[in-house]
Amino acid sequence: MKQVKITLASLLFVSLVACGVAEPKEETKTAEKAPKQTETKTVMAVVEDMAIEVAAVGETMMEVAFEPATLTLVEGAEVTMTFKNQSSAAGMLHNFVLIPVGIGQEIATAGIAAGPDANFTPADDRIIVSTKMTNMGEELTVTFTAPAAGDYEYICTYPGHYPVMLGKLTVTQ
């Protein structure tokens, strides 16, 4: 019995020591957190939020185009895009659909099947951002996060506008 008591006493002692040690550890943890927060702030400062303007222009099916036809964004940036339909031909509708390179025809074809109520835009997880169809003179704003570094395309899915209406987006790190 004595031996057991000693063991219990030892355990208590160890526990007390452990508790005593725990406090400085917490302090150390707090000290470690401070530099980490600074690192996060540094990263956020590099990836600045961006505001861009994209216009849809052209009065005939062969002239329709995005201006600008090329864009560059930084990965992870919060992008506020103003999209303007500057066409002045009645019924010249345009949208902006951002997709990875190589699936434009597939998305455009699926968009025609989706129909006008879906803004000629299919439900597809690969679409990074899409706007509704805009009529001539209409302007709207959308926000999205710039995707992983790589090459992308922005297309208009109004029937017949792809592949004439096609822009190239480069996302850098």
Positions touching Cu ion (CB under 5 A) are: 94, 156, 158, 161, 165
Closest CA to 78 of 141, 36, 26: 141
Q: Which amino acid is at 150?
A: G
For Cu ion, the closer of residues 28 and 60 by Cβ is: 60
For Cu ion, the closer of residues 71 and 77 by Cβ is: 71
Task: Please give the structure tokens belonging to residue 23.
Answer: 């406090």
Rounded to the nearest whole angstrom, what is the least distance from the CB of residue 59 to Cu ion in the complex?
A: 12
For Cu ion, the closer of residues 154 and 158 by Cβ is: 158
Produce one character per residue of 139-148: b if its CB has 16 or more CB atoms within 10 Å, e if not.
eeeeeeebbe
Rounded to the nearest whole angstrom, what is the least distance from the CB of residue 155 to Cu ion in the complex?
A: 9
Name the residue number minimizing CB distance to Cu ion. 156
Rounded to the nearest whole angstrom, what is the least distance from the CB of residue 83 to Cu ion in the complex?
A: 11
Q: What residue ranges in 60-173 does DSSP mark as E strands?
A: 65-67, 70-74, 78-85, 97-100, 129-130, 139-145, 150-155, 166-172
Rounded to the nearest whole angstrom, what is the least distance from the CB of residue 136 to Cu ion in the complex?
A: 11
User: Edge-to-edge strand order for the sheet containing 150-155?
Assistant: 70-74, 166-172, 150-155, 97-100, 129-130
Rounded to the nearest whole angstrom, what is the least distance from the CB of residue 117 to Cu ion in the complex?
A: 17
For Cu ion, the closer of residues 67 and 78 by Cβ is: 67
Q: Please state the φ and ψ torsions of residue 172, each to the nearest 5 degrees.
A: -105, 165
Query: How far is residue 32's CA from residue 35's CA, in Å, rounded to a whole number?
Result: 6
For Cu ion, the closer of residues 74 and 127 by Cβ is: 127
